[in-house]
């Protein structure tokens, strides 16, 4: 026998998943902000997992930092987060 869930049960399921995703993103943002504030030179950033150097870009959604030379990867990162590239915070690192 075929069992069909009601649309309200799907709505509840997706609301729960959305809440979990928001909690995870908030935790990631806090972790990434602390990482930058507590950087003593040994913190790893970007997809290359190296320290901060040169021109860095910050994702406005997850607050992680990326080296400017990886701008193509950054576009993919923002599409993954469903965030438009204009939301990038751009800050030179001394």
Domain extents in the chain: 7-92
pLDDT for residue 80 is more than 90: no
Torsions phi, psi for 88 (to 5 deg): -70, 135
Q: Please tell me which residue, 72 or 40, carries the higher pLDDT value.
A: 40
CA distance 92 to 35: 17
The whole-number pLDDT of residue 31 equals 92
What is the pairing mode between strands 65-67 and 55-58?
antiparallel
Q: State percent of the chain over pLDDT 70.
A: 68
DSSP state of 80: H
Q: What is the pLDDT of residue 83?
A: 45
Tell me what the mean pLDDT of segment 50-69 comes to: 85
What is the β-pairing status of strands 89-92 and 65-67? unpaired
């Amino acid at each position: 026998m075929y069992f069909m869930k009601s649309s309200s049960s799907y709505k509840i399921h997706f609301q729960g998943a959305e809440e979990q995703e928001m909690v995870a993103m908030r935790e990631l943002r806090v972790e990434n902000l602390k990482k930058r504030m507590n950087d003593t030179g040994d913190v790893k950033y970007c997809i290359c997992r190296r320290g901060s150097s040169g021109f860095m870009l910050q994702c406005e959604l997850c607050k992680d930092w990326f080296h400017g030379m990886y701008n193509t990867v950054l576009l993919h990162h923002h599409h993954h987060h469903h965030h438009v590239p204009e939301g990038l915070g751009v800050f030179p690192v001394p």
